[in-house]
Structure 1
Amino acid sequence: MTIELDQKEAEAFAKYLESRKVLIADPSTSSRSGLFAVFRDLGARSNLTLLVNTFSQAQATIVSDKPHIVVAEYDLGKRCGLELLQSQREQRPEETKECLFVVVTSNTSQTAVARSAEEDIDAYIIKPFTPEVVRRTLMRAALEKIKPRDYVLAIDAGKAAMGEAKLDEAEGHFNRAMPLDPSPSLACYYLGQVKALRDIINEAQGSYQKGLSYNRIHYKCMVGLYDLLMKQQEHTQAYEIVRRLSQYFPANPKRLAEVLRLAIVTGKFEDIERYYTIFTNIDDRDETLIRYVCAALVVCGKYYLSTKVGNNRAIELFRKASVTAQGRTKVLKEIVLALLDYHLIKEADSFLSKFPPESFNSDEFLLLRFLVYNHAGKASIIIDQGRALLSRGVVDDRLYAVMIQRSAEADLVVAAEELVYEGSEKFPEKRGIFEEVLNKARKG
C-alpha cells in the first residue's frame, strides 16, 4: 500500500467518521480507553463517542443514542456482545451500509464465530491489540462499506434481484460471486435460498452444505439448512444443526425453545442440562421459553427415573423445574405424579409442599394430596378423602383405582364394585385395569 493511497484512505475514513456516533462496550477500562483514543485519532468526535462497560448499558445506549458504529467485547458479563447486533439493526434498519459492527475478543474460537457471522459482523479485533492494528482493521471495514469488493457487489446484486423475484438473474449473480472469494460460504447460502424458493430441496440442501464445507459454523448456512430440515421433518439432522448453532452463537429465547423441543423429540435427554445452564443466563425469558424449559427438565427427569440409577439426578432436575416454574401448578403436578409412579413417596410429598397456598383448596391439589397420602394414611381416612373428592365432582382414573383398592381391602365389596362400574363408564379404556385392581385387592 503506497503512502499516497494510505493517506487517501485515512481521509476517506475520517470523513466517514466525522458525523458518526460510536459506542464502545467493553468491561476493561484499559481496552475502552485504548479504543477511544484510536477513534479520536482517526477523526471521531469525542462528544459522539460513548463508552459503557456492561451489556445492559450498551443495549440502553443503542436504543437512546442509535450509534452508527458499535464496538463490543464478545464477553459482556453473562451476555455476548454479538447480541447487540440485533439491537443496532432495529434502531437503524435502513442504514446497514452506513453502520459498522465490530467484535473485540481475546479468544481464537470466538474469533472464528465472529468470522462465521459474515455480512453481519463487519470486523473483529483480537486482544491484546495495538493502535495500528485497530486503525487498519476499522479502516478496512469502513472502506469495504464505502467501496465493496467485487464479491460483495455480486452478492448485493443477487439479493436485489431476488427481492424483485428475478430468480434467474439472482442465481447468475451468486454463481458469479463464487470464484471471487476463497471461502464463498455467503454465496452458497444465497444460492441455497434461490433453490429453496424454487422448491428444489436437494439442490438447496447441497448449496448450504457446500457453504459449510468452507466454514463448518457459517451462521447463515446453518440456519438455512436447519429451516430446510425442519420443513422436511428431518428432526434428528435438524437437531444436530441447531445444537451446533447453540454451541457457537448467542442463545435467544426462540432458538433455545426450538433446541429444547428437538432434544425431547430426538431423545437427547443428556443435553438438556446444558441448555438449562444457557437458559439461566438469559434475562428476557418469555412464557413460551419458560414452559419449554420446565417441560424439558421434567421429561429429562422422568427419563432418569426410568433408568433405575438416576433418581438423585432426576430429583435435581425436578428441583430446577420447580424453581423455574415459580409456582406453576401444572409443572409441580407432573413432578409429583412422576415421583408417585416410581414410588418415591417422600420426594413426592416434598414437591407437593411447593404448591402455592392459593391452590390448597383446588381439585388438583386435593387430588395430588390424596394420592400421596394414600401410601401412608389409614384406609378409613383415605376412603373418606376419596369420597369427598368424588362428591366435589373430581374425575380422575387414579382416584377411582385407589378407591376401588381401598374399598375392597376394607371389605366394602359392594362399594368397590360400584366404583368399578362408575369408573368404567367415565374411563372405558381403563375397565380392565379397574377390574384387575379389584381382583388383586380381594385376593390380598
Structure 2
Amino acid sequence: MGRTHESRTGGLIAFVQPFGLRDSSGGGRILRALLQEAPVPFLSICTSVRPPAPPPFGREVHLPPRPYFGRIEATRFARYLHWIAEWRRPAFERALERTILEAGATAIHAIPHGEAFWQAFQVAERYGLPYFLNVHDDMRYNLAGHPKLDFLMDRLAYVWQRATGRIVISEAMGEAYCRWFGRLPYEIVTDGLPDELPEAPRPRPEGRAVVYFMGALHLSYHPNFRVLAEALDRLRARRPDWEVTFVTRGSRTPVRPRTVPVQELPYAPEAEVARDLDRVDVLYMPLPFGEQYSWFTRYSLSTKLVTYLGSGLPILYHGPEDAAAAQLLARYGAAVQVHELEADAVSGHRTGAGSPGRTCRRCVTSGTRAIPAFGSARAFLEVAGRGSGRGIHRLSDYGRVRHIAFGRLHALRRALPLRGGRAGEFPLPPRLSRGRMGGVSR
C-alpha cells in the first residue's frame, strides 16, 4: 500500500454503505447496533442515491454516486440511470477520497452492496489504511441484473484476499467465500445480543395466539404471508374461543386474514421492539421460496434472528429447508419449521400458540441455548486482548469466535494500529462465472 494517513485527533473509522443509520432495513439495524455505543469516533458515509433520513446519533454524510430522480427511479427507465453514475464515477471517487481524508479516518469499514466498497478499498490501499470488509448478502442476490456484476464479483474476490479483516453474517457465507475466494480468517457477526437472556420461556396466557413479525417485508415474502393469513383463519375456525391476532412492526402485510384482526405498527427503535415482545406469543420468521432467492437464503441470516432467539418466545420458521437460518435453527432444535407453502402445514403446528406444549417449550429453551453460539462482545474482547494490540489478525491464533455480537466497536478499535496487506501478497483470482450455484469457476 501507499503512504499512511494518520489522524491528529486519534482513530476514526469511516463506514461506507448504501444506506443510512436510520434505515429500516436489516443493514441499517446492524449498523445502529454496532455504532450506538461506539468506543471510537466514526463517520457514516451513505452512498445511496436517495437522501437518508437524519441519523438518530453520530455523524453521517450523504455522498450519492448520481442525482436522485424521484418517480423515475420506480419506472422501467431506472435501469438506464446506472450510466449517469458511471459518467460521474471519477467525481464520486474523488469526493469519497476527500471525505475520508478530511475526516481524519484511520480505518475504513465497507459493506459490498454496490460499487462503493471497491472505491473505498482503493482509498485504503493508496493511503495505507486498515480496511474491513463486512458481507451481509451475496452480491449475486442484491445486485442481480446489475450491468457490472461480473466486474464487482472479481473485485470482491480481490478485496477478500487483501482486507485487514473479513466479517460475514453467517458461517455458511464465510465457508462459501473461503471456497470461492481463498481460505482466510473471518469473523461471523450478526446482530446485537440482549444484555440479559431469559432463563426460561416467557409466561403466556392460555387461549391467546398473537403472531408477530418485525422488519422489512420484501416482495419475495408475499407468498409466505398469503399462506400465513389462510393458516390464521383456519386456526381461528378450529379454536373459536382463542384470541388470535397478527401484529407487524415496520411493514404492512400484503394479505389480511378474513377473520383475524391485524395490527400494523410503524417502524420503531429496538427498545420499542423489546416492549412488543412482552405482549406477543409467536414470532414469525419467513424466508422466500424459489431458486431465484437461493443466493440470499443459503448464505445470509435475517437480522431479526438473534432478537427472536433471545426473546424467550416460540419461533415459527417458514422458508426453505436448505437456508442458512433453517440449518442453524435445526442444529439447536430452536424453532418449529415449515418448509412448504401450505396453510395446513402452518396451522397444523398451531403456530406454538395457546398453552405451551412440550414442543414449544423445547424450542424456546433450545433457542436460548443457541444464543452463546453467536458469541458476545465480552468473549470477543477476551480473545482480542490476547493479541497484544494486534487485534483481528491475532484472532486466528486462538481460534475463530463463532458469532460476535455486533453491538460494539472494540474489535475495530484494537485493529486500528494495523496496516493493510502488501500488494501482491495474494494472487488476483481468475474471473468469476455468473449464475452457477455452488460457487465460481476457477
Answer 1 or 2: which has greater strand percent: 2
TM-score > 0.5, shorter chain as reference: no
| RCO higher in structure (CA 8 A, sep ≥6) | 2
What TM-score bracket applies, with the shorter chain setting the length?
A: under 0.3
